[in-house]
Amino acid sequence: MEVKVTWQEGVYFHGQAGKHTLAIEGPPESGGKNRGVRPMESVLIGLASCSAYDVVSILAKSRQPLAKCEVDVTAQRADSVPKVFTKIQLHFRFAANEGAKLDDEVIARAIDLSVNKYCSVSQMLTAGGVQIEHSHTLEELSANSNKSND
């Protein structure tokens, strides 16, 4: 795996992975102008997307009628430099296809397998001493819930 990060100006960078570019920037107090995600936010996005990828794959193999999977992430960091993550909470929100029902036990097991076994990002962070907790809720699919086309 290879990526490249190129300094643009100030504390603004472009991260390149294949043909995809990610805008990365330090916080305003360091001169950032809010043009990209913060480096530590990108770690949280990596964790959430890695785990969601596993969970969605497991649920598909389990024939769960999944219509929505979103992950809300909150994190705590150490007070002193280096301000590493100390604790991360992943909250998964799911909805079934219209007229269908998701199995709560299957979902709980899929999340547990991802966070504690399959997700490489989770395993790397845990090995570094980060406590990762997870929870989930099952929601009704609303009319304005839709999948991103990205």
For the chain of 150 residues, list the mean pLDDT of each consecutive stretch of 10.
98 98 97 98 98 98 97 98 98 96 97 98 98 97 59
Domain boundaries, the chain: 1-37, 39-139
Collapsing DSSP to helix, strand or coil, 81 comes out as coil
pLDDT of residue 150: 53
pLDDT of residue 145: 54
- CA-to-CA distance for 139 and 150, rounded, in angstroms? 23
Positions of E strands within the chain: 4-9, 12-17, 20-25, 66-77, 85-96, 131-139
Superfamily of domain 39-139: K homology (KH) domain (3.30.300.20)
Residue pair 66/94 in contact (Cβ under 8 Å)? The answer is yes
pTM exceeding the 0.85 threshold for the entire prediction? yes
pLDDT of residue 142: 73
pLDDT of residue 78: 98
Q: Which residues of 79-98 are buried (b: 16+ CB within 10 A; e: fewer)?
A: eeeeeebeebebebebbbee
Residue pair 77/112 in contact (Cβ under 8 Å)? The answer is no
- Say which amino acid occupies 121: V
Residue pair 125/85 in contact (Cβ under 8 Å)? The answer is yes
pLDDT of residue 73: 99
